Amino acid sequence: MAYELKSFEDLLGTEGFSNQLLRNHFTLYHGYVNNTNKLSDVLSTMVREGMAGTPQYAELKRRFGWEWNGMRLHEYYFGNMIKGGRAIDKNSDLYKKIVKDFGSYENWEKDFKAIGMMRGIGWAMLYYDTAAGRLLNVWINEHDVGHLSGASPILIMDVFEHAFMIDYGVKKADYIESFFKAIDWKIDITMARNKLPLIFAER
């Protein structure tokens, strides 16, 4: 079954993000969805035709993870955002967990923003390690390198140049501030997030 494009047109008009920037970014996301579907079809055909052991199959199989993560990470990223933003509830389990694991919300924010300011292309992500019951801020290089096995993504910030350069040039810090003003702290874009209060309550 093919992956379907998700619409994030409701983000148009978000303060700090021009419509040109967002539309270009949506187009990039569409490319990841299309390529994921194309690769899935090609790989299935290769298996049926007895080509699963070939170098061509191996390279396309490796590429699939890159395209798929490019698709899914963009869905998480856009899903993190809402026009006008939505402040984090200081009585929420997530806020309390951030304070517990980082010492304060302010400490967490400084750490997350510092990751976003690191040189290079990639993603800044807040993960929940379900095995240890810990929140971790992590740098993801490209789309498929640096993910924590078994951890659930909570908040995702795109720090590839395409996410900000049309509006901000090389002023990445200004982009990060605009992203924070647009965060939807309801945090409900993945199924894992719906389980977070239960997970936190158990620990």
Residue 144: the pLDDT is 85
CA pair distance 100, 111, nearest whole angstrom: 15
Shared domain for 26 and 100, answered yes or no, is no
31 pLDDT above the threshold of 90? yes
Give the annotated binding-site residues. Answer: 25, 74, 158, 162
Domains: count for the chain: 2
Q: Give the structural domain span for 132.
A: 93-202
Task: Answer yes or no: is 102 within a domain.
Answer: yes
Among 94-98, 129-133, 199-203, which is the least confidently predicted range?
199-203
Residue 88: the pLDDT is 94
Shared domain for 33 and 59, answered yes or no, is yes
Q: What is the CATH number of the domain that holds 137?
A: 3.55.40.20
pLDDT single digits (tens) 173-187: 999 999 999 999 986
Our separate counts of H helices and E strands in the chain read 7, 3
pLDDT single digits (tens) 115-168: 999 999 999 999 999 999 999 999 999 888 889 999 999 999 999 999 999 999
Give the annotated binding-site residues for Mn(2+). Answer: 25, 74, 158, 162
Task: Answer yes or no: is 166 within a domain.
Answer: yes
The model carries a pTM of 0.90
pLDDT single digits (tens) 66-88: 999 999 999 999 999 999 999 99
> What is the DSSP annotation of 57-91?
HHHHHHHHHHHHHHHHHHHHHHHTB-TT-B---TT
Shared domain for 97 and 195, answered yes or no, is yes
Shared domain for 28 and 52, answered yes or no, is yes
Task: Answer yes or no: is 84 within a domain.
Answer: no
